[in-house]
């Protein structure tokens, strides 16, 4: 702050200085807002009761805030409020990220605990500077408080503004209150004054005052310090404000300080009363609010990058050994690095948390970070390390390039975890941690989906049973029972009435015909589409018979189980954009057809609200971290071959905002972070659905696509021997064979072309194995670039973590920067096209099929869906992941084949129709030697063993 001219030889004019401070603050706020349009400082003042003097002070602060550009909120509470209710208000305001300062107008009613109230305000919002943590830091030379108390700070500001030297001077403070005396003494000490504190027990105060070069009096006693005590030329700061009888005044009194007025005849400087310290107190409060707001804005404008260094070993230990050796950050630390408010995340243990969708509201005006999707070539049954590349690339961007980076991946199903594939947390030194939590229950989302799905199944069968055994009257009396002589509809029933064209809301007004239509869904037992699910590979539940008990005699029917991640509810979770949207999607899921061929939805069953309750926590993505400390969202887990195979839209959206750029800020290659999201299996499946289903629903636009390829898989596509899990690889895969590799490159070339078809730049990540030769890696690199890839980079993420993908990360950064200048992304087809045309667009343009043939059943379904208006949704192809065709044995890049569609189904909740191409298994079985043989727990330490 600039030094003012001396306003008066013996007057420390707090009023004039406070006006200067306010003007400077107004200019400071206006200038900051020009550069950062979303910047809005905010002060909340809590007033308990209606004391007239408190109300005056509140109005003064409100007016001052408005002049400077600070938003002011006055929270008026009743005088008889309970302490717990006041605490609840403080907790809400403490956790509101838009609030930068909180004050409680004192005094409060006697039944409230003032000390408790003051210490309930978070120190970083305690703009009065009263919290013990803020005052405590004053006494330490090595630390600073968030805020200095306003009145002491005003005293110090006056000394600074008048260029009054403090260092080496004798300073005497009369009064030792926590609000003024003690803090101002510590602040003078920090300015290198020699400080003496006097109080009611101090002997011979007069003698001590006479030694003061600087005297601060805050004892609250009228004219306590006599004028003749003042040292000649001393500086006197009188904090007191006392009413003294004065018949000459209209009010009958005048304001005087703690120091006799005659002190000005001996002092070099003195503060007037009033007009001295008082105006400075308000000015310093405003300054603290602006400081807090700027501090918060700067801190929350970018992610704090704190890598967790790896200690690499050679040979590379097992995944679980690596994960166990690397100590992750506490989830609260990671949340703080991401600038999440305390109300925006809910810890589940030490290392995982749910993040609420409130983040999207707070950051709605921020620009998104760069959006990168990781896909792959047509894989071998062993997988090509797509998850490992997703995690390793994120680690490289974060820990090596020091850029904000977020990975978004699907939650693994316990079916493969205990079956043959194992977990899906990445591998080697590129993992999500704790990997045991991720691969097991995590935060219970899949369990919630299982419970919700099976509740629907139970409700459908129960409704069929009750309609089969009861009259219309009996059904009506049970669905709308009289309670205290009155019937009423449940809220969910009103929607069904509306769909039936019945506008009545009083059950007693329904006619007999309307009652029958309302209570009878008339489910066709043979057209119940909804199946139960389980998150276990269990081949014997694929086809079952239910209703065999004597109590359900005559109700038996054939049905079956799918794996939980194949449930339509999983697809709904992955594609929803908000809680209301999820409820709507759940309500429109079709569970059966009536005997008249009409669709029956969850809304018709009356179960939508209950499903939403089961899923309300699952909608929030789970926050975890990589081995190197970069953040990860694990959310949703639809399979890619039988569903759309991508993690959730809400996870991607939140991540993009968290690593994005505040509203009004220019988006540059340097200040925008990266979100790396994964699309399941090859680009013909997961990436195609990412584009045509996920991006269509989310409106998000990718900046780059990373295609993961391995020498092993390319050799297989070139005609190499079958790759079989559990069996040693043939020599062709462990020895150099450039001819086989070049022939198989046709598969990767096709995927590069397909990614380019939708206007996305493709970067090939060659996931290198120890058996790959330099010549093989260079061949893939050269051929990929010749095929049109933006770049092709060998990586060693499994063995080296982020350090093994630095070149890949640099290529991704360059690509994203260029994409922001020129992005030609587009979906493959118009969703308004007829269903057949959309299927053929995918089959002919992405798969290179010559034709598509439809079974009679599929043809009938298409006609039925078109009549029902279900033909305007995108298509989710269900086909093998091992080939562009429906034949898994047809490797390489086949073309000119026929794609058979044997059936087609509708997922109205998810918002797509899905054709079934060839035989697709929706519930895997266990192999001869499942993974569970190796999984155990160390009963001494509690550590999980054998998980990978």
The contacts of residue 760 (CB under 8 Å, 6+ apart) are 373, 691, 702, 704, 705, 825
Residue 894 φ then ψ, to 5°: -65, 155
Cβ distance 164 to 271 under 8 Å?
no
At residue 330, the pLDDT reads: 97
Residue 238, sorted as left (phi over 0), alpha (psi -120 to 50) or beta, turns out to be beta
Average pLDDT, the chain: 93
Cβ distance 369 to 672 under 8 Å?
yes
pLDDT tens column, 497-537: 999 999 999 999 999 999 999 999 999 999 999 999 999 99
State pTM to two decimals.
Answer: 0.89
- Between residues 164 and 424, the one the model is more confident about: 164
Distances (CA, A) of 833 to 172, 839, 843: 85, 10, 15
The continuous run of DSSP H or E covering 341 comes out as: none
What value does the mean pLDDT take over residues 392-403? 97
Q: Place 857 in a pLDDT band, splitting at 50, 70 and 90.
A: very high
Q: Does residue 61 carry a catalytic annotation?
A: yes
Residue 391: other Cβ atoms inside 10 A: 34
pLDDT tens column, 859-909: 999 999 999 999 999 999 999 999 999 999 999 999 999 999 999 999 999
Q: What is the b/e burial string over 928-944, where b = at least 16 CB atoms within 10 angstroms of the residue's CB?
A: eebbeeebeeeeeeeeb
Share of the chain above pLDDT 70, in %: 99
Q: What gap in Å lies between CA 359 and CA 341, rounded to an integer?
A: 9
Q: Is the pLDDT of residue 60 over 70?
A: yes
Cβ distance 622 to 671 under 8 Å?
no
The contacts of residue 133 (CB under 8 Å, 6+ apart) are 123, 145, 146
Q: Place 2 in a pLDDT band, splitting at 50, 70 and 90.
A: very low
What value does the mean pLDDT take over residues 202-209? 94
Q: Place 635 in a pLDDT band, splitting at 50, 70 and 90.
A: very high
Cβ distance 747 to 892 under 8 Å?
yes
At residue 6, the pLDDT reads: 36
Q: Is the pLDDT of residue 252 over 90?
A: no
Q: Is the dihedral of CA 633, 430, 428, 892 positive or negative?
A: positive
At residue 423, the pLDDT reads: 65
Q: Is the pLDDT of residue 351 over 50?
A: yes
Q: What gap in Å lies between CA 23 and CA 287, rounded to an integer?
A: 11
**What single DSSP character describes residue 128?**
T
At residue 897, the pLDDT reads: 97
At residue 935, the pLDDT reads: 86
Longest Cα–Cα distance of the chain, Å, equals: 111
Q: Is the dihedral of CA 305, 311, 315, 318 positive or negative?
A: negative
Q: What gap in Å lies between CA 188 and CA 913, rounded to an integer?
A: 74
Q: Is the pLDDT of residue 947 over 80?
A: no
What value does the mean pLDDT take over residues 200-215? 94
Q: What gap in Å lies between CA 924 and CA 563, rounded to an integer?
A: 7
At residue 708, the pLDDT reads: 98
Distances (CA, A) of 627 to 398, 632, 739, 791, 883: 11, 10, 38, 27, 33
Distances (CA, A) of 478 to 468, 511, 532, 609: 14, 17, 26, 19
At residue 436, the pLDDT reads: 85
Provide the 3-class DSSP secondary structure of residue 378.
Answer: coil
Please tell me which residue in 61, 231, 329, 421 is annotated as part of the active site.
Answer: 61
Q: Place 929 in a pLDDT band, splitting at 50, 70 and 90.
A: confident
At residue 4, the pLDDT reads: 43
The contacts of residue 830 (CB under 8 Å, 6+ apart) are none
pLDDT tens column, 216-243: 999 989 999 999 999 999 999 999 988 8
Residue of 380, 327, 343, 346 lying closest to 88 (CA atoms): 343
Strand partners, 355: 345
pLDDT tens column, 788-840: 999 999 999 999 999 999 999 999 999 999 998 888 999 999 999 999 999 99
Token pair of 581 as six digits: 């949207």
Say if strands 532-534 and 674-678 run parallel, antiparallel, or are unpaired: unpaired
Residue that the structure tokens 């409020």 belong to: 81
At residue 422, the pLDDT reads: 63
Residue 145: other Cβ atoms inside 10 A: 20
Token pair of 480 as six digits: 């709308």
Provide the 3-class DSSP secondary structure of residue 564.
Answer: helix
Number of H helices, E strands in the chain: 34, 35
Q: What gap in Å lies between CA 251 and CA 241, rounded to an integer?
A: 16
At residue 3, the pLDDT reads: 44
Q: Place 9 in a pLDDT band, splitting at 50, 70 and 90.
A: very low
Q: What gap in Å lies between CA 561 and CA 532, rounded to an integer?
A: 5
Q: Is the dihedral of CA 637, 638, 640, 644 positive or negative?
A: negative
What value does the mean pLDDT take over residues 351-370? 94
């Amino acid at each position: 702050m600039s030094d003012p001219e001396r306003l008066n030889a013996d007057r420390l004019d707090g009023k004039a200085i406070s006006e200067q401070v306010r003007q400077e603050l107004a200019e400071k706020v206006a200038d900051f807002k020009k550069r950062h349009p979303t910047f809005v400082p905010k002060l909340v003042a809590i007033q308990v009761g209606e004391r007239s003097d408190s109300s005056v002070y509140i109005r003064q602060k409100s007016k001052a805030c408005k002049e400077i550009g600070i938003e002011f909120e006055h929270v008026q509470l009743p005088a008889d409020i309970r302490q717990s209710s006041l605490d609840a208000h403080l907790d809400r305001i403490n956790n509101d990220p838009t609030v930068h300062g909180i004050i409680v107008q004192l005094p409060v009613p006697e039944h409230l605990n003032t000390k408790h109230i003051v210490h309930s305000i978070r120190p970083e919002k305690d703009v009065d500077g009263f919290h013990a943590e803020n005052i405590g830091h004053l006494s330490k030379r090595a630390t600073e408080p968030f805020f200095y108390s306003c009145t002491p700070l005003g005293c110090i500001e006056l000394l600074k503004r008048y260029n009054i030297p403090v260092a080496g001077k004798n300073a005497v403070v009369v009064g030792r209150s926590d609000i003024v005396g003690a803090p101002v003494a510590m602040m003078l000490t920090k300015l290198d004054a020699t400080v003496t504190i006097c109080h009611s027990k101090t002997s011979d105060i007069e003698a001590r005052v006479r030694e003061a070069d600087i005297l601060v009096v805050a004892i609250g006693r009228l004219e306590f310090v006599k004028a003749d005590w003042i040292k000649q030329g001393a500086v006197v700061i009188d904090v007191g404000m006392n009413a003294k009888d004065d018949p000459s005044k209209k009010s009958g009194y005048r304001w005087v300080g703690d120091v006799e007025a005659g002190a000005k005849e001996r002092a070099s400087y003195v503060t007037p009363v009033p007009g001295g310290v008082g105006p400075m107190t308000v000015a310093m409060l405003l300054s603290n609010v602006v400081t807090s707001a700027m501090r918060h804005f700067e801190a929350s404008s970018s992610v704090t990058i704190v890598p967790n260094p790896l200690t690499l070993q050679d040979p590379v230990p097992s995944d679980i050994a690596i994960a166990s050796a690397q100590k992750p950050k506490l989830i609260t630390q990671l949340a703080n690095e991401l600038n999440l408010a305390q109300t925006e995340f809910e810890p589940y243990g030490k290392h995982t948390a749910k993040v609420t969708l409130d983040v999207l509201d707070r950051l709605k005006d921020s620009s998104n970070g760069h959006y990168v999707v990781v896909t792959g070539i047509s894989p071998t049954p062993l997988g090509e390390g797509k998850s490992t590349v997703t995690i390793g690339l994120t680690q490289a961007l974060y820990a090596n390039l020091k850029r904000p980076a977020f990975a978004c991946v699907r939650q693994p199903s316990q079916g493969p975890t205990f079956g043959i594939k194992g977990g899906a947390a990445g591998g080697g030194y590129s993992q999500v941690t704790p990997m045991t939590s991720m691969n097991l229950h995590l935060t219970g989302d899949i369990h919630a989906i299982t419970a919700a799905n099976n509740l629907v199944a139970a409700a459908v069968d129960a409704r069929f049973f009750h309609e089969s055994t009861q009259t219309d009257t009996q059904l009506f009396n049970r669905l709308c029972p009289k309670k205290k002589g009155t019937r009423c509809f449940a809220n969910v029933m009103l929607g069904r009435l509306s769909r039936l064209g019945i506008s009545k809301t009083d059950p007693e007004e329904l006619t007999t015909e309307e009652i029958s239509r309302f209570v009878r869904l008339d489910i066709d037992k043979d057209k119940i589409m909804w199946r139960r699910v389980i998150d276990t590979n269990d081949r014997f539940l694929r086809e079952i018979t239910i209703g065999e008990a004597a109590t359900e005699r005559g109700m038996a029917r054939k049905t079956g189980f799918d794996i939980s991640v194949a449930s339509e509810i999983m697809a709904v979770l992955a594609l929803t954009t908000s809680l209301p949207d999820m409820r709507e999607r759940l309500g429109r899921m079709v569970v059966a057809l009536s005997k008249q061929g009409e669709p029956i939805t969850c809304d018709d069953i009356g179960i939508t609200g209950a499903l939403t309750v089961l899923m309300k926590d699952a909608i929030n993505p789970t926050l975890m971290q990589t081995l190197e400390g970069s953040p990860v969202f694990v959310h949703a887990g639809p399979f890619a071959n039988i569903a759309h195979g991508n993690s959730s839209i809400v996870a991607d959206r939140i991540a993009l905002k968290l690593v994005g750029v505040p509203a009004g800020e220019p988006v540059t290659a340097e200040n925008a972070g990266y979100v790396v999201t994964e699309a399941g299996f090859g680009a013909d499946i997961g990436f195609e659905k990412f584009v045509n289903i996920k991006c269509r629903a989310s409106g998000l636009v990718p900046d780059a696509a990373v295609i993961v390829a391995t020498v092993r898989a390319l050799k297989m596509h070139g005609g190499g021997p079958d790759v079989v899990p559990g069996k040693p690889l043939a020599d062709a895969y462990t020895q150099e064979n450039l001819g086989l590799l070049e022939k198989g490159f046709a598969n990767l070339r096709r995927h590069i072309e397909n990614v380019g078809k939708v206007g996305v730049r493709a970067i090939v990540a060659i996931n290198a194995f120890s058996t790959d030769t330099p010549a093989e890696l260079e061949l893939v690199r050269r051929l990929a670039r010749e095929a049109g890839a933006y770049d092709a980079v060998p990586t060693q993420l499994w063995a080296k973590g982020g350090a093994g993908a630095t070149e890949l990360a640099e290529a991704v950064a360059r690509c994203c920067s260029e994409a922001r200048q020129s992005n030609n992304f587009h979906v493959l087809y118009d969703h308004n096209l007829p269903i057949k045309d959309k299927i053929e667009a995918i089959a002919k343009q992405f798969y290179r099929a010559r034709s598509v043939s439809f079974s009679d059943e599929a043809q009938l379904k298409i006609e039925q869906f078109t009549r029902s208006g279900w033909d305007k949704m995108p298509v989710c192809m269900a086909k093998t992941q091992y080939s562009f065709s429906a034949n898994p044995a047809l490797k390489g890049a086949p073309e000119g084949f026929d794609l058979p569609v044997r059936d087609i189904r509708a997922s109205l909740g998810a918002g797509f129709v899905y054709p079934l191409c060839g035989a697709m298994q929706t519930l895997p079985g266990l192999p001869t030697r499942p993974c569970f043989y190796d999984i155990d727990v160390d009963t001494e330490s509690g550590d999980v063993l054998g998980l990978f």
